[in-house]
Structure 1
Amino acid sequence: MRWRASIGLAVGGDGPVSSIVESEHGSEGSAREWIERKLPRARFPAWIPAARRADGVELFGRVARGHVVTGRLVPTWESDSGAAVWHADREGDHVQWRRCAAEER
C-alpha cells in the first residue's frame, strides 16, 4: 500500500483536471507533508497563459491511498476503493485540507 501525493490543475469548478507532478510515499503523513511543502510554491505551467489563469484555472493538491497495477503495457496507479481522499487548496503560504469521500474508479 502506498500514498500518492499529486499537484494538479483544475479548470473551472467542474472542468477537466490533470496532474502536473506526483510523488509516492510510504505513509499518509509523508504524502501530506510533501503537499504542504510543494503546493504553496507551485507555479502554473508555462503553457497556460496568464489570462487563462485568472479564468478559473486552479492548482490543488491531492493525497490518495492505492497501489500500482503491473502486468499491463504501462503500469497504472489505482486508488483503493473505499479509501477517503485528501484535497488541499492553497491559502497564501499555507494549505487548507478537506477530506473527501472515496472516489469511484
Structure 2
Amino acid sequence: MRWRASIALTVGGDGPVSSIVESEHGSEGSAREWVERKLPSTRFPAWIPAARRRDGIELFGRVARGRVVTGRLVPTWESDTGTAVWHADRAGDQVQWRRCPAGER
C-alpha cells in the first residue's frame, strides 16, 4: 500500500474534481507533509481565467491510501475503500485538515 497526496481543484462543493499534481509516499505523514508544503503556494492553472476563479472554483489537498493496479492498458490508482481520506483546505499560508469517510472526495 502507498499514500497518494494530491492537489486538486473542484467547481463548487459538489462539482467535478480534477487533480493538478500528485505524489506517492510510503507513509501518511510524508504525504500530509507534502500537501502542507505545496498547497499554500499552489496557483490556479493558467487555463482558468481570473474572472472564473470567483465562481466557486477551489484548490484543495487530498491524501488517500491505496495502490497502483497494473496489468491494464494504463496503470490505475485504486483507493483503499476501507480507509478514511484526509482533505486539506487552504487558510492563508496554513493548511486545515479534515478527515472524511472513505469514498468521499
SS in 1 for 2:38: helix
Q: Given residue 86 of structure 1, which amino acid in structure 2 is its aligned partner?
A: W
Unmatched 5+ residue regions in structure 1?
none
Encode CA deviations 1:35-72: one digit per residue, 9 max, x unaligned. 00000000000000001101100000000000000000
Q: Give the length in aligned residue pairs.
A: 104
| Amino acid aligned to 1:67 | R
The one-letter code sitting in structure 1 at the alignment partner of 2:36 is: E
In structure 2, the residue matched to 1:101 is: 101
| C-alpha distance in structure 2 between counterparts of 1:88 and 1:40, whole Å | 10
Q: Where does residue 32 of structure 2 map in the other structure?
A: 32
Q: TM-score with structure 2 length normalisation?
A: 0.97
Query: What amino acid is the match of 2:20?
Result: I
| Residue type at the aligned position of 1:85 | V
Structure 1 residue ranges (4+ consecutive) displaced by more than 2 angstroms after TM superposition: none
TM-score by length of 1: 0.97
Q: Distance in 2 between matches of 1:99 and 1:13?
A: 16
Cα distance between partner residues in 1 of 2:31 and 2:80: 16
Matches within 5 A, 1:80-91: 80-91=80-91
Which residue is equivalent to 2:64?
Answer: 64
Alpha-carbon deviation of 1:81? Answer: 1.2
Q: Which amino acid aligns with 1:30?
A: S
Q: Distance in 1 between matches of 2:86 and 2:26?
A: 16
Structure 2 residues without counterparts, runs of 5 or longer:
none
C-alpha deviation, 1:13, in angstroms: 1.3
1:8 to partner: Cα distance: 0.2
